[in-house]
Chains A and B, each alone.
Chain A
Amino acid sequence: MNTKVIKGRKIVEGIAEGEALVTKEPISFMGSINPKTGYVIERGHEIEGQCLKGKVLVFPRAKGSTGGSYMLYDVVKNGVGPVGIVNVEADSVVVIGAIVADLPMVDKIDIGEIETGDYVVVDGNNGVVKVQKRDNDTMGD
């Protein structure tokens, strides 16, 4: 078991786990995401066409519209949102959306340590992210 524990800052309490969806580009929940389907719709975005459903969403920081708080809340309420959020630097618009959506969130994380497909536990109670790398040995199981 190759599990890495990364210490960050707790933003929103709670524990969530799932497969990581990682982007190095900022996200605006208003404009980058379709809240009804959970798909990334921003043209040319690194993860355009990916779905957030059930994923731990890992991105550096927010950008853009303050409508993002309700849209994050909405995408989660619609059952197609992420289960947790990991940021380098938390922006208030995403934090507020995560608070009202009860979405565990941690920031101050070096997201270069996480790759799409890794299995990630977001521990918002302790401000810790646990990363289990995609293990090539288990691919055939």
Chain B
Amino acid sequence: MILTDEEKRMLDGQYGDLVRKSMKILVALGEIYGAEKMLDINNVHSPGVSYRVAGDAGLNFVKDASVAGRFEVPVTLNTIGIDSENWEELGFPRCFALKQLELLQAYHTMGAISTYTCTPYLVGNIPLRGEHVAWGESSAIAFVNSVLGARTNREGGPSALAAGITGKVPAYGYHLDENRKGKYLFKVDIDLKTDRDFAVLGYFAGKIAGTDVPVFEGIKRRPTLENLKALSAAVASSGAVALYHIVGVTPEAPTTEAVIGKQEPIRFGKKEYEEVVAKFSLEGDIDFVVTGCPHCSINEVRRVAQLLAGKKVKADFWICTSRQVKTLADKMGYTEIIREAGAQIVCDTCPVLAPTSSKGYKKLVTNSAKLAHYAPGLWNLKTGLIEIEDCVEAAIKGYWGGKV
């Protein structure tokens, strides 16, 4: 790897031990993946901010860093393990919350921006096409690469921290043109309408594509931002997809030929759709309903508020979102409608990253493939992946009949 004189000084320890260690991580990655040089970045989204993820090892890692230095470039923070302003009322365990707050303090000391969301692109961190960035959060990585056309690899907590300290990333992987072409071509043969439809497609494709780039053709209806958010989360849960292309929709794929060579497409039709849905089918008494994985946009909060208006829920119902979107929801009166119905807007966190609830939930329904994928292992829940209207109905009745 060829380093500039300045980068060599960083690696030699002339800017202190934290910069030296950070460069060491980045150079190690660069050497493994055959990077020829470093790239300058001015934008990081840091994962590993939940204490559930970081653990004591991660907490000490970040605390040590915060004593030694500051972020050189803007760093937004991913979803955390508690609602930072409402954790006591929501019943998050105190010992966990205190550790979480300690971890946040360390990030704040370094100058991070307190977004606490998996949707930084909804709250102002919107890199432009071709911009090199260092992002964590698997769903946000897929979104920023695919939908916005910016360029990032799948950064974990320590490498995002190193990138924030140095303002550098090694030039490999998705930073380079030659690695942004498609590998697997999917032909979508059904009309995708809802966020769940896109989540199902993503879950199907992620399992096949693994770490490679899927290309989708045949999607006729122009997807909404929320559709793409759901697709990005799903494709990075069943697989490790960091980039996908939708022909005629995403910026790097004006045509199929522009992103992938000629090949026999993999069909995604009714049968394939129903196979994924069957994996997450569930019926009976429902005690937990969650939407907002990734965090709800204001449009999604509004939809839930409309469906809940004048009703009462039997099951616990979390609408997970960022603090910034909740502020909007407060202004628009949605928060009040949701509270009246007995449901809750939960900020900063989600069941993927929060500690297991002490309430002993047994069955969860959600419209998120990502949450449906992780909740059985992380929270010991049976999960159903259903439409948002059905989630609200299940919350109201405390029961779900299991129709697809």
- Could you tell me the distance between the alpha carbons of A63 and B211 in the complex, rounded to whole angstroms? 8
Sample of 6 further A-B pairs with CB below 8 A, known A41-B378, A73-B61, A77-B55: A61-B240, A64-B374, A67-B353, A74-B57, A91-B240, A93-B155
Contact B57 A73 (CB under 8 A): yes
Contact B47 A63 (CB under 8 A): no
- Could you tell me the distance between the alpha carbons of A91 and B210 in the complex, rounded to whole angstroms? 10
Q: Is the C-beta of B223 less than 8 angstroms from some C-beta in chain A?
A: no
Contacts of A77-95 to chain B: CB distance below 8 A: 77-78, 89-93, 95
Contact B153 A69 (CB under 8 A): no
A-B contact pairs, 11 of them (CB 8 A): A41-B378, A63-B238, A65-B237, A66-B160, A67-B53, A70-B58, A92-B155, A92-B173, A95-B32, A96-B158, A99-B29
In the complex formed, the residue of A with least CB distance to B155 is A66
Q: Which of A16-24, A25-33, A109-117, A128-136 contacts B (4 or more CB under 8 A)?
A: A25-33
Chain A residues within CB distance 8 Å of chain B: 9, 11-12, 26, 30-32, 35, 41-43, 61-71, 73-74, 76-78, 89-93, 95-97, 99-100
- On chain A, the residues within 8 Å of B341 by CB distance are none
- On chain A, the residues within 8 Å of B138 by CB distance are 64-66
- Could you tell me the distance between the alpha carbons of A31 and B375 in the complex, rounded to whole angstroms? 9
Q: Is the C-beta of B275 less than 8 angstroms from some C-beta in chain A?
A: no
Main secondary structure of the interface of B (DSSP, over half): helix
Contact A31 B377 (CB under 8 A): yes
In the complex formed, the residue of B with least CB distance to A65 is B138
Q: Given A61-B211, A63-B210, A66-B138 in contact, is the A93-B154 Cβ separation under 8 Å?
A: yes
- On chain A, the residues within 8 Å of B240 by CB distance are 26, 61-64, 91, 93
- B85 vs chain A, min Cβ distance (A): 23
Closest 3 CB pairs of A and B: A69-B156, A74-B55, A67-B53
- Return the CB mask of B287-312 against A: 1 if under 8 Å, else 0: 00000000000000000000000000
- Return the CB mask of B33-63 against A: 1 if under 8 Å, else 0: 1000000000000011010011111100100
- On chain A, the residues within 8 Å of B137 by CB distance are 65-66
- On chain A, the residues within 8 Å of B33 by CB distance are 92
Contact A43 B377 (CB under 8 A): yes
- Could you tell me the distance between the alpha carbons of A38 and B203 in the complex, rounded to whole angstroms? 27
- On chain A, the residues within 8 Å of B48 by CB distance are 66-67, 69-70
- On chain A, the residues within 8 Å of B237 by CB distance are 63-65
- B54 vs chain A, min Cβ distance (A): 5
In the complex formed, the residue of B with least CB distance to A68 is B156
- Could you tell me the distance between the alpha carbons of A30 and B154 in the complex, rounded to whole angstroms? 14
Contact A99 B25 (CB under 8 A): yes
Contact A70 B376 (CB under 8 A): no
- Could you tell me the distance between the alpha carbons of A136 and B378 in the complex, rounded to whole angstroms? 39
- Could you tell me the distance between the alpha carbons of A26 and B271 in the complex, rounded to whole angstroms? 25
Q: Is the C-beta of B395 less than 8 angstroms from some C-beta in chain A?
A: no
In the complex formed, the residue of A with least CB distance to B137 is A66
- A137 vs chain B, min Cβ distance (A): 39
Q: Is the C-beta of B28 less than 8 angstroms from some C-beta in chain A?
A: yes
Contacts of B330-363 to chain A: CB distance below 8 A: 352-353
- Could you tell me the distance between the alpha carbons of A126 and B156 in the complex, rounded to whole angstroms? 25
- Could you tell me the distance between the alpha carbons of A95 and B25 in the complex, rounded to whole angstroms? 10
- A56 vs chain B, min Cβ distance (A): 19
- A64 vs chain B, min Cβ distance (A): 6
- Return the CB mask of B373-392 against A: 1 if under 8 Å, else 0: 11011100000000000000
- On chain B, the residues within 8 Å of A78 by CB distance are 55-57
- On chain A, the residues within 8 Å of B167 by CB distance are none
Contact A43 B55 (CB under 8 A): no
Contact A30 B53 (CB under 8 A): yes
- Could you tell me the distance between the alpha carbons of A67 and B237 in the complex, rounded to whole angstroms? 12
Contact B32 A63 (CB under 8 A): no
Q: Is the C-beta of B228 less than 8 angstroms from some C-beta in chain A?
A: no
- Could you tell me the distance between the alpha carbons of A26 and B238 in the complex, rounded to whole angstroms? 9
- Could you tell me the distance between the alpha carbons of A61 and B209 in the complex, rounded to whole angstroms? 12
In the complex formed, the residue of A with least CB distance to B54 is A70
- On chain A, the residues within 8 Å of B159 by CB distance are 69, 92, 96
- On chain B, the residues within 8 Å of A9 by CB distance are 32
Contacts of B128-175 to chain A: CB distance below 8 A: 136-138, 141, 153-160, 173
- On chain B, the residues within 8 Å of A30 by CB distance are 53
- Could you tell me the distance between the alpha carbons of A66 and B352 in the complex, rounded to whole angstroms? 12
- On chain B, the residues within 8 Å of A96 by CB distance are 25, 29, 155-159
- A77 vs chain B, min Cβ distance (A): 4
In the complex formed, the residue of A with least CB distance to B170 is A92
Contact B154 A91 (CB under 8 A): yes
Q: Is the C-beta of B236 less than 8 angstroms from some C-beta in chain A?
A: yes
